[in-house]
Amino acid sequence: MLADLMKKSNYTIVYTGAGMSTESGLPDFRSAKTGLWENENPAAVASTEALNKDVERFFQFYRTRVLGVKDCHPHKGHELLAKWEKEGIIRGIITQNVDGFHSVAGSEKVMELHGTLQKVHCQSCGKKYGNETYEEEIFYCTCGGKLRPSVVLFGEGLPEDTFMKAVEESEHAELFIVLGSSLTVTPANQFPLLAKENGAKLVIVNMEPTVFDDYADVVINDRKIGDVLAEVAEQL
């Protein structure tokens, strides 16, 4: 059914959440016992306050996260989405994830709502670097400013340009596919509803049920995203 919807759609937008990343081996944030925020207070390590007042702890927490991303890789689901973008089957990806794996896999039209761990930049002058600086424990810019991952920290708003682009793409979608999101985080969880309100078909692929399943035209639970997309690929 998903393959049929994709064949009929002239404008398909994909929205990805933590479930897309966990299939690559990355931990998510909120799972009991294994979620990152079960063991750390986000306000203490991943916030603007930490960057300004407890910078060594901030650096070490994000170095651990950067190293974690380097230990993992995009899976077949990321690769299929990149292939489908090149073929014009999908028009863009909205993602909550900060691993940067969509771009690493070759996708170009990616709206990273929370930024990316693949890059860092200077808090003072804005100069951009690759994340190997953190790997090598280089935490300061040539200007002397602090290098920080190019992600949205607690205490910061979502990047306005990226958010508005995601709104625009959601409104244009004929088919909106959610992959691996519980759809509990606002305001990002409003994109599927925005698409639906503008006439799009809505598909939700997630291990667990979501609060928006009743709005969806197709719901797929208890399946790995990579497996679902591989099955779809055989029918396109």
For the stretch 7-50, pLDDT in tens is 999 999 999 999 999 999 987 654 444 445 456 676 678 999 99
pLDDT score recorded for residue 34: 43
Amino acid at 92: G
Of 35, 76, 41, residue with least CA distance to 61: 41
pLDDT score recorded for residue 214: 95
Q: How far apart are CA 218 and CA 199, in angstroms?
A: 15
Tell me whether residue 114 is one of the annotated catalytic residues.
yes
Q: Are 203 and 176 in contact (CB under 8 A)?
A: yes
- Does the predicted model carry a pTM greater than 0.85? yes
Residues with pLDDT less than 50, the chain? 30-35, 37
Q: Checking phi first, is residue 222 left (phi over 0); if not, alpha (psi -120 to 50) or beta?
A: left
pLDDT score recorded for residue 188: 84
pLDDT digits (tens, 9 = 90+) for 188-202: 899 999 999 999 999
Q: What number of CA atoms fall less than 13 Å from residue 222's CA on the CB side?
A: 0
Q: How far apart are CA 52 and CA 43, in angstroms?
A: 12
What Cα–Cα distance (Å) separates residue 37 from each residue in 28, 61, 181, 183, 208?
Answer: 9, 12, 17, 18, 20
Cβ burial 108-132 (10 Å sphere, 16+ → b, else e): eebbbbbbbbbbbbbbeeeeebebe
pLDDT score recorded for residue 32: 41
Q: Which of 102, 114, 121, 172 is catalytic?
A: 114
